Amino acid sequence: MKKFKYPMLGLDCAACAKKIEEHLNRDKHLKNVLVNFGTAMITFESDLDKDIYKYVNNKIHEVEPEAKIVSKTDFISSSNNALRLLLSLILFILSFFFKNSINLVLILSVYVILLSKTLVTALKKLTNKIVDESLLITISCIGAFFIGEKVEGAVVLLLYELGKLLEDKAINSSRKAVTDLVNFKPEFANNAKGEIINPKDVLIGDIILVKPGEKVPLDGIVIEGISHLDTSSLTGESRLIKIEKGQEILSGSINQEGLIKLKATANYENSTASKILDLVETATEKKTNTETFVNKVSKIYTPIVILLAVLVAVVLPLFLDLSFKQSLYRALTFLVISCPCAIVISVPLSYFSGIGIASRKGILVKGSTYLDNLRNVKEIIFDKTGTLTTGKFCVDYVKVLKGNEENLLHYAVLGESFSHHPLAFAILNYYHQDFDNSKVKNYKEIAGRGISYSLDGKKVKVGNDELVNYPNKVNDTAIFVKVDEEILGYITFTDKLKEDAYNTILNLHQRNIKISIFTGDNKMIAKEVGQKLDVDEVQAEMLPDDKYYELEKKKRKNYLVAFVGDGLNDSPVLASADIGISMGLNGSNAAIESSDIVIMNDNLNKLWEAIDISKLTHKIIKENLLLAFTIKFIILGLSTFGISSMWHAIFADVGVTLITIFNTLRILKH
């Protein structure tokens, strides 16, 4: 099986996308078909190679004659719909200047030009046992013509086609607004000789050049050059980031200044830019309960509407003083009002827009279900180190027990200069004087305890309280220094809180969310952090499986729980949480893969921003559904009693659809 991916034209509603997807998945030559209405893309696997393009289009046309797959070079959303509409409008206006046969010919021309396409679509779908709005419009307009309301029927067609045209433009505008947010996938790379090559041809370890103004094509480590990067496409932050030799940078960033030379650390498919695009493109394929419900209802909605229209036509004359012609007119009006466009378009478009605006802010949501559920989270549990704190230790204070501080630090620095432990780097950064470690002998690392070495015949130990047999308990993270049998003192360390940690917790509390901390750190340090941030609950000295089981207990309380973490040991909890949220800048790959939402720049404030986007998206969906149902039911009631006409009906269909679409676009301005 070979995998294929194509853009699609004529995909103007989520229900259509679902029909195509289900129909193609029943074909023996096609597997794992996914039709993404939000991005207008189709992916599938097939054992066919020759004529696959034609084969798939033929299958699509069986259920959606107006939709088709196109090559990427042909992906231009253009059609002759505007020309057909303009010609029909001219003929319709001319019909008012003529009478009798000429008038009839002009009106008939409008019907032929506009209705022929809708009629063909409706008939093709009927052959595949699919009934949708194209059939409703066809029946109502043909019926209007034959009962003598040919002008109203023509107006319905004109407004319906105008609405479809405006819908296409609004949907394409939304798609463009969203796809532009992540339009940073590099198209080329420069090899070590400066030659332009395809990024897919670059292997891990290859050297590539990035010139000023160019996108970084692959993740890599800087081996030469100094510059500033624009990472706004990745993180949502406009501030430029300084980079120099030894730093790792991500694909999708834009080099602003000098030439930089990189060693690739990931291939094209696994680079950050490609992963982000894949996440955004596939995010809307995971449906919420609302979307699933709408898709299920849309399958039976239209047949029920037709049945009700028949009842209106047949039953009304039995109870009211109406002719069959009058009741038929009301039934036809009923059909136009009942078209479900506003509902089946606005719901998925809202989720797609919400995911898109979140990605622009550096928040990657892996599915509309997670975006929808985020607004209902009642408790957020944070890992401490690297999530609420920087994860980078620094010296807090030096406690001297014998001798002086300079002597204690000198022994510590000589030993730690050979170590790669985070606490060793903290000591070296704190000690600003020159030193010579050439006389250090017999250096040895003692796993889980510290180091030992010899200096001028003296035995030196630098490590925890167990290594030096210190009798008293020190609540802080500490490194002791012992020379021969004397403990000179100890150095304590602190892991600083992130600058935005307090503000984030405050904002989450204002949204009535309980805050907890799960950490493997000791209880005193964890409690101190909890007090500084005013969190509701702190659990410390936890192993990864302790976090997992405690989270499972919380999930039994029948409310949604989110977990925020960044490390490899957080992966099980991130996967288990109702919503797992990982830090994407410094987080481990395992944490990012296990999570449902990724904060690309590690900015904790993005958490409450994401919750606000979730709430706004849900609010707009509710507004759209309430508006659509209210207007449709009101005009349905009025039409049943002959108060409203087809002119009102077309507003209830096309007008309401346009209003809900433009209301949905408000999300993109958040």
The catalytic residue positions are 383
Residue 493: name the closest of 419, 373, 396 by CA: 396
β-strand partners of 461: 452, 482
Q: Which residues of 356-377 are buried (b: 16+ CB within 10 A; e: fewer)?
A: bbbbbbbbbbbbbbbbbbbbeb
Q: Are 605 and 323 within 8 A, CB to CB?
A: no
Q: Which of 84, 81, 59, 82 is nearest to 69 (CA)?
A: 59
Residue 205, sorted as left (phi over 0), alpha (psi -120 to 50) or beta, turns out to be left
Termini Cα distance of the chain: 42
SS3 string, 242-254, reads EECCCCEECCCCE
Helix then strand count (H, E) for the chain reads 23, 26
- Per the listing, tokens 């074909």 go with 27
SS3 assignment, position 432: coil
Side chain identity at 126, as an amino acid letter? L
- Residue 294 structure tokens: 């709408």
CA-based diameter of the chain, in Å? 120
Asked whether 608 and 243 are in contact (CB, 8 A), the reply is no
Q: What is the DSSP letter of 201?
A: G
- Alpha-carbon distance of 360 to 560, in angstroms, equals 26
Phi/psi-derived region of residue 603, left when phi > 0, alpha when psi is between -120 and 50, beta in every other case? beta
- Write the CB contacts of 401 (distance below 8 Å, at least 6 apart in sequence): 487, 488, 489, 490
93, with CB counted inside 10 A (0-12, 13-18, 19+), is exposed
> DSSP class of residue 433?
S
Q: Could you tell me if 550 and 527 are in contact, meaning their C-beta atoms sit under 8 angstroms apart? A: no
Question: Is the separation of the CB atoms in 214 and 254 below 8 Å?
Answer: yes
Please answer whether residues 480 and 509 qualify as being in contact, where contact means their C-beta atoms are separated by less than 8 angstroms. Answer: no
Q: Are 366 and 278 in contact (CB under 8 A)?
A: no
Hey, which residues does 581 pair with through a beta bridge? 564, 597
DSSP line for 535-567: -SEEE-S--HHHHHHHHHHHHTTSSEEEEEE-S
CA-based radius of gyration for the chain:
33
